[in-house]
Amino acid sequence: MRLRSLMLENSQGERIIQDKNEILRKEIGDLIQVFDDKMEETQAKLELTESEYANEQEMLKELEKTFLALEVKYNQIQEKRRLAEEKRREEMKELELKTKAAIIAQSWWRGYRTRMALKNKGKGKKGKKGKGRKTR
């Protein structure tokens, strides 16, 4: 009898443990299901992000090609501007040099004319002697 009562207690304890195990299995199954759902959602987001990244990489390559072409043109334009600026500066220096030379030549000529005018002013005009005989 004692054995029977122990077996009965044991079977009741076993049933309680089995019930608890069943409840835990259901909770674990629910948690696994939630985890799987979250992983699928995360995987979908990852795949979408990867495809967007690939598209952006392609766009970047295209833009880099365009950028390189534009950069070459930009450098050419900058070089032309630099050369034009250099030429303009050279022309300005040449113009300044010509202007200085013209000023010097003009001042020399004015001084020469003034000296000649003063030199001639000091001499008086002499009367002209007539040619031929004077008749009275």
Q: Give the pLDDT confidence of 11-53 residue by residue, as tens digits.
A: 999 999 999 999 999 999 999 999 999 999 999 999 999 999 9
Q: How far is CA 20 from CA 14, 30, 67, in A?
A: 10, 15, 68
pLDDT of residue 121: 79
pTM above 0.85, yes or no: no
C-alpha 126/C-alpha 120 separation (Å) is 13
Chain Cα centroid distance, residue 121: 74
Domain ranges of the chain: 1-115
Local confidence band at 120 (pLDDT 50, 70, 90 cut-offs) = confident
125 pLDDT above the threshold of 90? no
Q: What is the mean pLDDT of residues 80-107?
A: 97
